[in-house]
Structure formats: C-alpha cells, structure tokens
Structure 1
C-alpha cells in the first residue's frame, strides 16, 4: 500500500471498533465494516482513534485490530493508525508494528501537558525524529486534548518536519485556521499539506469552502461526507449543501457528549454493518427515549433524501 502523502484528498473514515455482547473485539464485524466503507465511497480508513475506543483496548488487541483492518482493506483503502501515547517509545513501537503490516501512515495527537507554542513545536519535532521516515498526521483537537495549536505553530512544524503530511483539523470550528494555513501555502511561505476535517462532519461544507481537502471523521452515514466532498470537488457547492442539510439533524444528534458514539454504533448495527451497537465498558447506552429520537430522525432523513434525489 502506498504511503500517505501531502496530496491526500477525500474521506478517511474514523472507524468504530466493533464489540460482541461479551465485550470481545468482533473480528467478523470488522470485515463487514471495512467492506461497507469501501462500498460507500471512502478514500481511506483511520483506526485506533478516540471514537474507535482505542484507550479501552489492550496493546495486543490494538495490533490484532490493525492487522485485520489492513489485511481486509488490501489495495482498496489506505489505513491510517492512531498511535498517540504518553511517551515516544511506545508510539514508535506501535508505529513500527502497523507500518510493517502495511499501514499508510499514523496519526499523533499532542499530550495534554503541552501549554506553550514552543512546547508544541518541540513535541512534534521529536515525533518526526522518533518515527523516522513514517508519514504522520498532526491531530489538532483542542476540545479533547486541551492543547491549542495556532496556525503559526502548525506552519513552523510543516516547514521543519517533512514527514508531517496532513493536518486533522478538529478545532471548533476553526474555519479561520484553515484560511490562514491555505493563505500561507498559497504565498509559498509553507509547504501545502493535506487538511482533512473532523467533528463528525458538522462543518464540512464550510471547511471545504475554506480549502480543506476532505474529511477524516466518523458518522453513521459516510455517504453524507462522500457526497459533500465529491460535489465540492466537482464545483457544485449548492448540491453539496443540499446533501449535507438532509443528514444534518442526525449528525447533530450524534455529536452529543456521552451518547454520541452509542448513537453511531446503534445505527451502524441497524444498517447491518456491525453485529451489535455495544460499547466496551465504561461506555454509555441509549435509553428507549434516545432510540425513539434516532428512529424519528432516520425516518425524516429518508424522506428528505428522496425529495432531493440523493
């Protein structure tokens, strides 16, 4: 599988980790899930992210999951693996393992202990040194890491660390950050890297309008993100917004703290992608009222999609 590059575009789905009713990793569901994302038009997959419940997996399970996904994806989908860790040694160990399996690259979030611009820069400079030639994604998600990374710091990292090939933009919504980074690269001040955006796709049309290259996030209907990115790439922003609007109520509901991932897994199970919507403990579960909300949103979404012919 080719390595991740700064030219990456499209939709890299943040995949869930399927579990059986006994809490064990469901390998059969992983196969169905990978096939489903490929058939839905995904460009790539990202695994072992926060919404993949990576912190709940053992080291052995993480490797087993990565091996299964990479093998199933084959030549169809490049796979990016989250390797964030408190120290560089375990990060490098997992990176070496997944790259040997055939992963396209890795993703690294900053530890919460970083509080200054220099600390952030020095950390990612160290990541570049530790990972050697492996291309990596800088995950900018201040809502969970509590680390704010200013555009000037990202530009400095991009200039000095050539293996940083992608920004996973997950500020809230941070549209001005995308504009600043694109202005810098357009002027030739920095290298142009790929920018894929997160936050469940809630701001995807606006992010595409600011110069993002696509999405790296999860949503129980990846068809929404694929449709929005595809229409923007064709130059039809209005059609992209029409598609986005049809899915927005469910995407908004899925962004709730606590039950958001349970909602996503419930719908994926309902669609036959995974066997159960179970989260590994500790994890939330949908109440009967939550399920009723989701079913209502699904019905309304289906009607709206029929109305716009999507």
Structure 2
C-alpha cells in the first residue's frame, strides 16, 4: 500500500551492501532486510543519502529497490533524487511498478530562495505524477537548502501527493513544533514527520510531535524500542535508553565517516559480509575501528544487543 500522512514508527534507512570488489552483495541485502523486519521497523528506505545511490547504475538501483520490496512485507520508500526530472521520473515509475510504497526527493543544492524551493517540488511532483506519494528530505547540513516551516507548509498544501517529511534540520526541534502548530490551527494538513540525523535528537523529537524516525543508526532495534517507549509516555525509560546509545550515536554521525561506522557495525553484528563502500569512499582507519569496538563494549554493559563476537 502507498505511504500516507499517517505513517508512524521507524523507517530504517538501509545502506547498500557491496562485496570487497564493489559488486552488489545481494545476499547481505536480503539478510539486512530480514534484520530490519526482526527489529520491528514500520518501513524501510533504500537509496537514501547514505545508500550510495549516486554510485549505482540505474539498473542496479532498480534491482536493489525491487529486491527489498519483494522481501520486506512493509512499506519501502525509494530515494529518487536526480539532477534532472527525466531520470527521477524513470526511476520513480520503475520502483513503484515493482511495489514501492513511495519515493523520497531531496532538493538540489542550487536552490536558494523560498520560491525556488516551492517551484522545484511543484515540478518534481508533476514529473513523478500525482499518484506517487513522496517524501520531502529536509537536510540543510548536507544539501545547503534551508526550508522554513512556511515553505514546507506551502509544498504540502500545493502537492496532495506530498505525505511525509524526513526532518533533518539541525537545530530542528522548533521546526517540528511550528509544523504541528500549523496543523493545530488548520493552516496545514497533517504530514507524517519522521526524523533523521542518525537518531541524534530522537530523545526529544517525539515529544515535539514527530511520528518516529527515518534514519540508519546501526541499532534500528533500539530506535524502534525508543519510539515505542515515547509513544507510551515512558519518558524516563526512553531517555535512559537514548543516553546509553548516545556515545555511539554521536560517533556514527560524524560527517564523512558515518557510513563507514554504520557498515562496520553491521558487519560486526553479522548482517553485512563486508564493510565495503564503492569508490570514492572513506574507510575507517584501524584506530577508528578500535574506537568503535571500545564504544560497543561499553554499550554492551547497558544494552545486551551490543554484545558482539570478538575477533
């Protein structure tokens, strides 16, 4: 079923697994999909910012999305951001035909004014067609495009197939409150708000009105538990769980290093066969691996999920 504005929970952002030689690792992709389902996610997002989508050929991108869709049994959102609308339209059409639940669109970094941003999403929505629900990816720290709450409201109101915001502004808690304020006063229809940034602010985001997370932290099972605790109003337990993971969350969220950390931990957890990235890439140094292992060992004292095999 297509995604709607009522989506809640955790949509895991999936890395794309590769063999050491750079070829797609479909076996690890299947294992990763199964792991996300076992973790209790509400959905999966592929070909996102850390899915190395620009390093994939078109056929490979369709292959990855189709394989996850066929196996998942939960909504799958596919990143279709592209330099031109023709490529975006082609990928969106093929993955939706394969059973995807929606697509995610990031703004190009050339946009500067509010009018330019609103016009871009108007044109993107027309390009993919009115029947394909889409997610706004709001990540100014990476895309250098700043969307004020009123801009997101304008995009939402102008495009009925806009159903979700992947919120990654930083700081961004006041933006969530502003958007929910628009909804409360009736000037904006409801929009599902799922938050990114590796989960770095997920301790307070649900309290501000976020519906959950759409991110790729290497313990998605923890993210699911945290969102559930917050939904039940178990604030102290939610913050205790977050605090236990914060050192690793912070380490994983380093710009330029996060994907390497994430893939390394997934390999340590037995999910990926290799931590390989396609070139250009920035692999972890031996010292960085030791630091991640140290953080995992410390985390294991508070969360048994971090107890991993040695060696």
- State the TM-score bracket (shorter-chain normalisation): over 0.9
CA distance in 1, matches of 2:125, 2:20: 40
TM-score of the pair, normalised by structure 2? 0.96
In structure 2, which of residues 62, 80, 84 is the aligned counterpart of residue 83 of structure 1? 80
CA contact (8 A) 1:31 1:69 kept: yes
**CA shift at 1:305, angstroms?**
2.2
In structure 2, which of residues 91, 95, 98 is the aligned counterpart of residue 94 of structure 1? 91
Q: Mean alpha-carbon deviation: is it higher for 91-100 or for 256-265?
A: 256-265
CA distance in 1, matches of 2:55, 2:128: 24
SS of corresponding position for 2:123: helix
Q: Mean alpha-carbon deviation: is it higher for 155-164 or for 98-107?
A: 155-164
In structure 2, which of residues 124, 149, 153 is the aligned counterpart of residue 151 of structure 1? 149
In structure 2, which of residues 295, 301, 307 is the aligned counterpart of residue 303 of structure 1? 301
1:176 aligns with 2:171: no
- 1:254 counterpart residue number: 252
Runs (5+) with no aligned partner, structure 1: none
- 1:280 counterpart residue number: 278
CA distance in 2, matches of 1:102, 1:286: 36
**CA shift at 1:187, angstroms?**
1.1
Q: Deviations over 1:169-213 (max 9, x none)?
A: 000131111000000001111101100000000001211110000
CA distance in 1, matches of 2:158, 2:52: 32
- 1:107 counterpart residue number: 104
CA distance in 2, matches of 1:173, 1:33: 31
CA distance in 2, matches of 1:50, 1:205: 22
In structure 2, which of residues 84, 93, 118 is the aligned counterpart of residue 121 of structure 1? 118
1:5 aligns with 2:4: yes
Q: Mean alpha-carbon deviation: is it higher for 217-226 or for 192-201?
A: 217-226
Runs (5+) with no aligned partner, structure 2: 305-311
**CA shift at 1:249, angstroms?**
0.6
**CA shift at 1:29, angstroms?**
0.5
**CA shift at 1:142, angstroms?**
0.5
CA contact (8 A) 1:173 1:203 kept: no
Residues 1-310 of structure 1: pairs in structure 2 closer than 5 A: 2-73=1-72, 76-132=73-129, 133-305=131-303
SS of corresponding position for 1:50: coil
Q: Deviations over 1:91-144 (max 9, x none)?
A: 111000000000000000011111100111111111222222100000001111
Q: Mean alpha-carbon deviation: is it higher for 253-262 or for 116-125?
A: 253-262
Q: Deviations over 1:55-108 (max 9, x none)?
A: 1111111111111111111xx211000000111111111000000000000000
Give the aligned length.
Answer: 303
SS of corresponding position for 2:132: coil
**CA shift at 1:228, angstroms?**
1.1
**CA shift at 1:259, angstroms?**
2.0
Tell me which stretches of 4 or more aligned residues in structure 1 moved more than 3 Å: none
- 2:308 counterpart residue number: none
CA distance in 2, matches of 1:51, 1:271: 19
CA distance in 2, matches of 1:121, 1:258: 29
CA distance in 2, matches of 1:55, 1:32: 23
CA distance in 2, matches of 1:244, 1:220: 13
- 2:307 counterpart residue number: none
